[in-house]
Structure 1
Amino acid sequence: MIRIGYDAKRAFNNTSGLGNYSRFVISSMIRHNPDQQYLLFTPKVSSLFDQFYPSAPSVQVVRPVRGLQKKLASLWRVFGMQRTFLKHPVDIYHGLSNELPIGLTQNYPKTIVTIHDLIFLRFPELYKPLDRLIYRQKVKYACQHSNHIIAISEQTKADLISYFNVRSSHISVVYQDCDPAFHQKCTPAQLQQVKQQYRLPQQYVLSVGTLEQRKNQLLLLRAWHGQGLHHSTSIVFVGRRTPYAAQLEAFVQQHGLQQKVHFLPYIPFQELPAIFQLASLFVYPSLFEGFGIPIVEALNSGIPVISSTGSCFQEAGGPRSLYVAPGDTEALGKAMQQVLEDPALREQMISAGYAHALKFRPEHTAAQLQKLYEQVLLK
């Protein structure tokens, strides 16, 4: 019986991408390989996610319990794991968010790290110097000391080879799925309730993601308005605000679009699938991502997707989504108009997109992870 340890801090506490990925991996493995032991190491547990995984006697949550470990819980998962493994032994430890504990011996436990992206190196101007330094050191250490690396996309694998000179054979690409909530169609009653609650327009283009420069939402506004699409459709933004949001609001004010552009507040996760399914089109104009889970959420929701060329977007969106250079306002506007006005094209994109999304289902990725764990243990 394999004893698998996970860095579960973000699974139990983060609402965004790293948390979603961690919850996806842990719950998928427990569900599809219930005969193994799972130890989830976390300095704290949020009530939002204390039951995210299938209940099973094979699962144990491990937290710092006393003394200095408990007082310095945030450092425990970085510097205190070697001692913790003496009491809670594991065969393999999987760091789910770009880092591994410091000071582990090379072969006990065997270690795997998931690297999500190297955006801090590609777009250094978007990060504070100290943050860049910390991120770089964490990733460099993890690459040097892991028995194997998982990249969440071919793009991330290529960046690891380019920036850190990692051997290709040391990296495996394993994709992730979106939350299972997006696999289900909402009932008409659910759709109507969400539509009324958030006062959603009859026809809208949806964009989901933090309102920040890298996500490039201003391009979407300019393309939509420049193509004249504001006369027939609205835009709904869902995402955490940063100072960049002021630029979006300034554009809306300048062009008198307050009734056509909707910035939604925090959305309870269980209501998000309905917001996707009510949309006419999903646009993800980001400059660069590690993978792009909102694209997969849209494909599962049965709406066509337009995203950017380059990066990992075609990996997530598949061959029948549309891709536009992230600085080409006119091309994006024309692509949006084409999708909104051509029913045959919409149906082709929806059908092909859903078929593409099936490759990310947890039964496939859990099998890949299990095989990889077994291979690493045999080395």
Structure 2
Amino acid sequence: MKIAFDGKRFFNNTSGLGNYSRDLVRILATTFPENEYVLFNENQSERGKDILEIPNVSFVETSKGTMSRQFKMGIDAQKINADIFHGLSGELPLKWTEKPIKKIVTIHDLIFLRFPQYYSFFDRIIHFWKFKKATVQADLIIAISEQTKRDIIKFLKVPEEKIRVVYQGCHQAFKENQTEEFLSSVKEKYNLPVRFILNVGTIEKRKNLLNIVKAINGTKIPLVVIGKKTKYFKKIKKYVIKHQLENQVFFLENVSMEELAGIFKLADVFVYPSFFEGFGIPVIESLFSKTPVITSNLSCLPEAGGENSVYINPHNFEDIKAKILFLWNNESERKRRAEKSFEFVQKFNDVEIGKNLHSVYQEVMLK
């Protein structure tokens, strides 16, 4: 099979959709090397350069023109005789010729419909139109969780039989055993506490960092936070200063993927009380790192966390505090949950994900 991909996120996004796109192409290219994988975009970047070095992965520059991604990319894929076009981020090109080509789109979440207050009216209208159009065009739809599948059925009115759930994995760095020397160098570079709890993700209201900070107030538990700052960060900083937590809450930036994997391994507990996620990759990253997880009992997070993660009501910081103290003060329980969760997270390894993706491709070719 020859599979064409919309490479915009693969080349342009540093996290989230970018990581999903790069991991998906890497997994397929290494698990099913008999296929040909072609990335379309207006240009390349340094991101994913290692993946483009895999013999069966190539780049094709999209034809020039206004809105070339929407009006040229699909036709370009047809010109190279691609069997399948896979839109990796909720969109498909708008223009095609009569030439046969199967279409698949991945939808990660419909947060803009569940939490419209986080989006402008214009953005909500555009997102809804693009997603709805893609689900109509697609021969099959990939949802990254059962939660997202339910949302696609509910909000976009898509028949259940058109949707396949294929979970995401995470970067290879989280599955590797870094040396003690490397971990020590990371700890020294970022001046990390001897023990700490960790939170990773964009510092935005939906991710609910403020309730973690409130939860550790009155304890001596250090919190390390890694993520891009938004306006919401000002609210966090104000609380930290007001309650004199400057020496307890540490914000890190410009952390490489390998360093991030090391910090996950160094942490005692990973805390992720998000109000809603399409999947929650940081949870998977933590489980592969053998670091126990405290996360929300909402949306897809129990799917990602499994039965040995600890679940909280994200609206209740006292509940978060109680669960943090429970794991912080109980080393044997941390180890037990970490080991059991490591067994569970193997369902998100590259081989399983590759098989599931490939089965969707094989299925769509028979439609």
Q: What TM-score comes out, normalization by structure 1 length?
A: 0.94
Residues 1:369 and 2:361 aligned together: no
| SS of corresponding position for 1:52 | helix
Read off the aligned partner of 1:101 and give its amino acid letter. P
- Aligned-partner residue type, residue 252 of structure 2: L
1:100-133 Cα distance to aligned partner (Å, 9 max, x none) = 0002368821001000000000000001111111
CA distance in 2, matches of 1:372, 1:47: 29
1:222 matched to 2:220? The reply is: no
- C-alpha distance in 1 between matches for 2:343 and 2:52: 27
* Cα pair 1:289 1:311 within 8 Å, conserved: yes
C-alpha separation between the residues in 2 aligned to 1:86 and 1:306? 46
- For 1:198, the equivalent position in structure 2 comes to 190
Determine if the alignment matches structure 1 residue 136 to structure 2 residue 134. Answer: no
Where do residues 294-309 of structure 1 align in structure 2 (5 Å cutoff)?
294-309=282-297
Q: Does 1:315 align with 2:303?
A: yes
Partner residue of 2:345? Answer: 357
Structure 2 match to 1:45: 44
Larger CA deviation: 304-313 vs 100-109: 100-109
Q: Is the 8 A contact 2:77 2:85 kept in 1?
A: no
Give, in whole Å, the separation in 2 of the partners of 1:276 and 1:323. Answer: 19
Q: Deviations over 1:278-306 (max 9, x none)?
A: 11110001100100000000001111100
Larger deviation: 198-207 or 101-110?
Answer: 101-110
1:177 aligns with 2:176: no
Percent identity (aligned): 41
Which stretch shows the higher mean deviation, 41-50 or 116-125? 41-50
Of the structure 1 ranges 118-127 and 85-94, higher mean CA displacement relative to structure 2 is found in 85-94
- In structure 1, what is the equivalent of residue 14 of structure 2? 15
TM-score of the aligned structures, taking structure 2 as reference length: 0.97
Partner secondary structure for residue 25 of structure 1: helix
Question: Which structure 1 segments of 5+ residues have no match?
Answer: none
SS in 1 for 2:50: coil
Range that drifts further, 142-151 or 8-17: 8-17
Partners of 1:167 and 1:64 in 2: how far apart? 32
Per-residue CA deviation, residues 129-179 of structure 1 (Å, 9 max, x unaligned), is 111111111110011110000000000000011111111111010001110
Q: What runs of 5+ residues in structure 2 fail to find an aligned partner?
A: none
Q: What CA distance in whole angstroms lies between the structure 2 residues aligned with 1:324 and 1:290?
A: 18
Q: Report the equivalent of 2:28.
A: 29
Paired positions, count: 367
Whether the 8 Å contact between 1:240 and 1:266 is mirrored in structure 2 is no
- Structure 2 counterpart of 1:36, which letter? N
Q: Deviations over 1:201-245 (max 9, x none)?
A: 1111100000000000001111111xx32x2x2001000000100
1:60 equivalent in structure 2: 58
Contact 1:12-1:45 within 8 A present in 2 as well: yes
Contact 2:75 2:96 in 1 (8 A): no
Give the Cα–Cα distance (whole angstroms) in 1 for the partners of residues 215 and 299 of structure 2: 21
Q: Once the two structures are superposed, what CA deviation does each residue of 1:66-114 show, in whole Å capped at 9, x if it has no partner?
A: xx43xx4xx2121112431343220011111111000236882100100
Please report how far the alpha carbon of residue 50 of structure 1 lies from its aligned counterpart in structure 2 after TM superposition. 2.3
Instruction: Give the deviation of 1:53 after TM superposition.
Output: 4.6
**Residue type of the partner of 2:229?**
R
The answer to whether the aligner puts 1:268 opposite 2:267 as a matched pair is no
SS at match of 1:272: helix
- Counterpart residue identity of residue 140, structure 2: H
Equivalent position to 1:209, from 194, 201, 214:
201
Instruction: Report if aligned partners of 2:78, 2:99 keep a CA contact under 8 Å in 1.
Output: no
Counterparts of 1:274 and 1:286 in 2: how far apart (Å)?
23
Q: Which residue of 2 aligns with 1:250?
A: 238
